[in-house]
Amino acid sequence: MISQPTYFEAQQWAFSYVAAHGGYREDATWLLRAPHEWDATALLVHLQETMPVTEWHQYQVNVQRVCTGWPPQQLVGKAPFFGRWFTVTEDTLIPRVETGDLVEWLLADYPGSAPKQVVDIGTGSGNIGITLKLAHPEWQVTLTDISPRAARVARLNARQLGAVVSVTVGDLTAPLTGQYDVLVMNPPYIAMTEQSQMDISVRKHEPVRALFAPENGLAVYRQLAKEVFRILSPHGRIYLEIGWHQGEAVRQLFEGQFPAAQVTVRQDEAGHDRMVRVCL
């Protein structure tokens, strides 16, 4: 084995290793790019450069661990979201493309609005609320999470990315006292009975209570619908990520709680229900 390879040679070693140990070439490439926050083009530019020894040693460890089920994002300690890199740990979910779609929907609804009071509940790494604050610096954005450790990660990301937000700890609306124009949340929505069907990297290395919920994954939506009237302004809006088969159930739940509300279910690119907007 080469003691100090080029990035190209390191990548070729990794391709051979993952092929022999049940891993994925895309993970090997991602682990090469992510420490530098390189895109695919930047990696090509650097491929013939010599890799620092310490980086090479860590890369070998990470490639070996990703083949045992570790998410590559947690091995590097960060993940991209909406064009920025967020610190992630085992106390936070890894940001996903579907959540970016939810943020895009919200931002499209408020392209040039007056300042809003916004709350991101169950914020995790803070990726949703921080992205909204950076898009609309005039908004007052509050982030909450039931996990103190997740809240610490959100504070770190806010500081690193220059977002002036408020971060507080508590379950759903419990720590909130103000009136909010917009509530956004990516809640736990996977049914408890589906745990065994999830990828091992998710089950072992992401926070269980941020993923799974009782009542076929609907428990948090039901609790939120009962509590939210206390903190939402009269014409407030709720934006929620949902499971692909939950659209009608979540619609009925909020329409039952708020008969005058307009509830819209939106699909992802695959045509699956993925997001809900509730306009009071």
pLDDT band at 197 (very low <50, low <70, confident <90, very high): low
- 191 versus 41: which is more confidently predicted? 41
252 lies in the same domain as 203: yes
pLDDT, residue 215, reads 86
43 lies in the same domain as 87: no
pLDDT band at 198 (very low <50, low <70, confident <90, very high): low
- Give the bridge partners for 111, in sequence order: none
How many domains, in total, are found in the chain? Answer: 2
pLDDT, residue 200, reads 63
DSSP state of 259: T
User: Domain limits at 48?
Assistant: 7-68
Instruction: Summarize the confidence of residues 99-103 as an average pLDDT.
Output: 95
- 205 versus 245: which is more confidently predicted? 245
Handedness of CA 79, 85, 91, 92 (dihedral sign): negative
pLDDT, residue 149, reads 96
Question: Of 50, 68, 86, which residue sits at a domain end?
Answer: 68
Question: Taking the model in full, what pTM does it have?
Answer: 0.93
pLDDT band at 3 (very low <50, low <70, confident <90, very high): confident
100 lies in the same domain as 232: yes
pLDDT, residue 18, reads 98
215 lies in the same domain as 156: yes
pLDDT, residue 191, reads 72
Q: What is the pLDDT of residues 64-93, one digit of tens each?
A: 999 999 999 999 999 999 999 999 999 999
Residue 179 located in a structural domain: yes
125 lies in the same domain as 61: no
Q: Is the pLDDT of residue 241 over 90?
A: yes
Give Cα 12 distance to the centre of its chain. 31
Residue 222 located in a structural domain: yes
pLDDT, residue 203, reads 62
Residue 64 located in a structural domain: yes
53 lies in the same domain as 148: no
138 lies in the same domain as 266: yes
Within 8 A by CB and 6+ apart from 103, the residues are 82, 128, 131, 132, 184
Q: What is the pLDDT of residues 5-18, one digit of tens each?
A: 999 999 999 999 99
266 lies in the same domain as 144: yes
Which residues of the chain form beta strands (DSSP E)?
A: 78-81, 84-87, 117-121, 140-145, 166-169, 180-185, 190-191, 212-213, 232-241, 262-267, 273-279
56 lies in the same domain as 120: no
158 lies in the same domain as 23: no
Q: Is the pLDDT of residue 204 over 90?
A: no
131 lies in the same domain as 258: yes
Residue 54 located in a structural domain: yes
Question: Of 68, 87, 120, which residue sits at a domain end?
Answer: 68
pLDDT, residue 190, reads 80
Instruction: Summarize the confidence of residues 131-136 as an average pLDDT.
Output: 97
Residue 187 located in a structural domain: yes
Residue 206 located in a structural domain: yes
Question: Of 15, 44, 68, which residue sits at a domain end?
Answer: 68
CATH of the domain at 131: 3.40.50.150
Residue 130 located in a structural domain: yes
CA dist 128 and 81 (Å) reads 9
180 lies in the same domain as 241: yes
Instruction: Summarize the confidence of residues 55-70 as an average pLDDT.
Output: 96
Residue 2 located in a structural domain: no
Span of 41-55, 190-204, 209-223 with lowest mean pLDDT:
190-204
Please, what is the average pLDDT of the chain?
A: 93
pLDDT, residue 270, reads 87
